[in-house]
Structure 1
Amino acid sequence: MIEQVCNLKVTDEKTVEKLIQDENVHYLHMVFPKDQGLPEHYSNSNVYMTVLRGKLSIQLDDQEIHEYEAGCVLKIPYKTKMNVKNLHENILEITVLKAPAPKN
């Protein structure tokens, strides 16, 4: 088989899955119930974030929180301060692609 197959976990529980991590990209799948998210951090690559379901609440650098619904794709530059949260009742599900792959 030539292709590598990864399956997204189907869940409503908090999940952070590292599906692909190679020399080219990192591809992650995340699920966050209300009031869950990631610790504040700086992006370690260019980040492409797709909202699959729910509503993403994200604060970048010193901006106010912006909200994005399912179907939205965000492009976030390298070294941007990120605060990713689900501030809503519905489950938030996103995929995150980091390219180029972070060095560390």
Structure 2
Amino acid sequence: MAWFYLITAGILEIVWAYAMKQSDGFSRLWPTLVMAVAMSGSFGLLALSMRTLPLGTAYTIWTGIGAIGAFVVGIAFLGEQGSPVRLLAASLIVSGLVTMKLASTS
């Protein structure tokens, strides 16, 4: 269940990052509210996952899901650049996440 909480927390991190961008510096009400709710949920689920998972594993996976997710959302929905160097950097983050997950099960 801890991994479910952690992955859901990571997805909510993507949601709040996107909503923060859409809030235009907190000047738009609905994106700001979505951001606040998603952020609260993300932190809460992260805390629940940390009841079982080690701090280093949980925090690394959580931030990695958020970073890669925000990267993909930026390219897919916000017209951000997907250059080869940025894609390489993202793939290195993903490889680190996979390695962290594998290390946490041994």
Which TM-score band (shorter chain)? under 0.3
Higher-Rg structure is: 2
TM-score when normalising by structure 1: 0.27
TM-score when normalising by structure 2: 0.27
Question: 1 or 2, which has the higher strand percentage?
Answer: 1
Question: 1 or 2, which has the higher helix percentage?
Answer: 2
**Higher relative contact order by CA 8 Å / sep ≥ 6: 1 or 2?**
1
